Structure 1
């Protein structure tokens, strides 16, 4: 939803106005999209040709990971897919009892994933069979009665922009491997990665749909309660918490942190991007995102922070040391996809179904893109001068009503919206789309 319209709703109803942890994955040890979004490379590599696309039966909000030649990704059709990296052939799929919006993590011969059926699963990478499963207190979209002041005020409403479930992160200790994840039940869980045995849980005051990041034996994770938590990975005890804004319509953390140079960086709905000292949680700087929710998770490369914005439709490049804006790249819609960096290129998608490769050395002036087939078919009808426009898509509907907002979002999804974050392997970039496809696009070796 356009934040400008959200502000109007609130006014009407209430009178209220580099040394980074994200390194290239260690070969045959672990793979996790939120621990590995800086990939090897030394130049700008534009998008080349489509290699393959695998069609699932539901929207894809999950982000892919590639491990030992196999790509793993979840779908809203309830399946986790294991796909051959080179050919696009599906090796197996594992059926859960709910939509799979979580992104997979892989350790040795096991892939871990969460589902809306309320379970987190450990699945054998070779056979696709479950090793163990752990039941949380329940997984669901965040929501409230009369959410954001929408009408009717007595109706329970899911948040239409809450796309994800928490994705697992692994501590790959051979003697004591652990898996960590958050839950809609408000807990952060630590399990034995081999057995699924509960080691500890930490209770926040709201649902947790972003993913934990493990940095120097501390877990960093945000919550819909608007707090960022630092938790001792061994004991589950809180080290510190940092509170973001809590005003109506601008509350909650969906963004996963990036940790680099003893700092943690993340965005919130309040709407700011924050840089905190990793050890103490003290604020170092914050960037005003101009009433634009930050749902995209940041990545840091060469002391530059890259992150997408919601209603300003931008990829931001900020100085990681002081938060100064270096440049910004404008797209046609919300940027909820979290960027990946390889060499001198930032890769990410937008909500209109465009996927971009932007040269970081050119300050965003050199780029190319790939459009989903859904976008090509639906853009003339849905977009306004090739831009996402909530009022235009509402076609006269009153966006004070929840059902009008839901109808508009369903229209946008017809574009093949990209909220999945890319993974890069062997000169190929992989990502999912709301059109149900997982895409593999080759990268050009530019001379």
Structure 2
């Protein structure tokens, strides 16, 4: 690492519509981020953009002509997919850094006010709320040796809350999510009543993933767990390495062909046998945290990294690196893939459309703020923590906060894109939800 503070999304959505999907035909919009398309489709014109009053770290989800997304301003928004006009907004008393899931016309999400909510997807009316023991940024006293040593410091790279996912069986529907209070919760999807909880004693900000009757998730304790969805009983757990600055699992997992893939701060991407938890392979990310969620397509794992600014393409069976594409900053945005195109953002405010066949043809779409501030903040168009610090003492926590606030001026893209009707949607820390038309395939 070249700086004291190294460089988290995510997060996940499960979309369940009762008419279209059954227990065996669920759609998970984060681990299965493969959308319709055949050729290369970069962005065309801006269709619309919607302004919130806070940074957007959560990811959009589109259902029945409505785009759903949360903002740091404390509101959860429902926006017309075609026009970009507000349909409704729901007020919480904290930043909404959780992404949403939808089941049976109910949208589920969490807020830093300490509640997870169930809201009518059409009207925005609250159905129930579940009170946790508190939602907060992961914090340590004197984190990583920073000063003052007695100060409780929030981790500046802990961007997301866990996104609820929905487990269905013939008798019940459960909403499962992690909490900053150290519990994985399963509550009744209709009433919000607690069914079971699983404690790990430290924050769970990753989003759980479901496969059949097993739920998988990682926590800030550095462990990755497999639990029984119905009972919450542990099936197995896998431990990543614990060391200063390289502890914890923020990334959400992806599953394909009996293999579960997830990144950690330690810093590796792991491929485990989903039934046993045994390591199949692990990829050394060169002191880069892996915080984005992997996407698996054509025997290739695509995932972003922090300090190497890379979108990696790895062989799904062996973990061997096929190639990498370098952005201009940390890549925490989980990629979406349509046809031959991978879409993702970086922390410098660039949004990329990469041709996966050529590996060299790509389009860059910067935020307006990036165009405005790049020359004064970036170093040769690259994110550089030391350069932005301007020779200040990075062992002082407040100086790290100051640099992060400079970076936020660029409009970093930590939100993961969603594609619907040939339009791509993503949020930015500049407070905007963007909707771009995609060019015709070529």
State the TM-score, normalizing by the size of structure 1.
0.94
Partner of 2:2: 4
The 3-state SS of whatever aligns with 1:5 is: coil
Cα–Cα, structure 1 residues 172 and 357, in superposed 2: closer, same or farther, change >3 Å? farther
Answer yes or no: is 1:374 the counterpart of 2:372. no
Answer yes or no: is 1:203 the counterpart of 2:204. no
The 3-state SS of whatever aligns with 1:374 is: helix
> Aligned to 2:312, which of 306, 316, 328?
316
> Aligned to 2:276, which of 280, 285, 297?
280
**Inter-partner Cα distance in structure 1 for 2:370 and 2:356:** 26
Partner of 2:434: 439
Q: Which moved more, 1:295-304 or 1:313-322?
A: 295-304
The 3-state SS of whatever aligns with 2:374 is: helix
Q: Which moved more, 1:22-31 or 1:186-195?
A: 22-31
Partner of 1:142: 138
Partner of 2:163: 167
Partner of 1:18: none
Answer yes or no: is 1:424 the counterpart of 2:419. yes
Contact 1:22 1:299 in 2 (8 A): no
Cα–Cα, structure 1 residues 266 and 163, in superposed 2: closer, same or farther, change >3 Å? same
Q: Which moved more, 1:88-97 or 1:166-175?
A: 166-175
Partner of 2:388: 393
Partner of 1:360: 356
Gaps of 5+ in 1: 9-20
> Aligned to 2:332, which of 332, 336, 358?
336
Give the superposition deviation at 1:175: 4.4
**Inter-partner Cα distance in structure 2 for 1:33 and 1:53:** 22
Contact 1:382 1:393 in 2 (8 A): yes
Answer yes or no: is 1:122 the counterpart of 2:81. no
**Inter-partner Cα distance in structure 2 for 1:155 and 1:215:** 41
Contact 2:32 2:295 in 1 (8 A): no
> Aligned to 1:303, which of 299, 306, 317?
299
The 3-state SS of whatever aligns with 2:49 is: strand
Contact 2:167 2:175 in 1 (8 A): yes
Cα–Cα, structure 1 residues 35 and 193, in superposed 2: closer, same or farther, change >3 Å? farther
Please report the RMSD computed on the Cα atoms of aligned residues, expressed in angstroms. Answer: 1.8
Partner of 1:271: 267
The 3-state SS of whatever aligns with 1:251 is: coil
1:272-326 deviation per Cα after TM superposition (whole angstroms, max 9, x unaligned): 0000000000000000000011111111111110000000001000001000001
Give the superposition deviation at 1:446: 2.6
1:241-274 deviation per Cα after TM superposition (whole angstroms, max 9, x unaligned): 0000101110000000001100000100000000
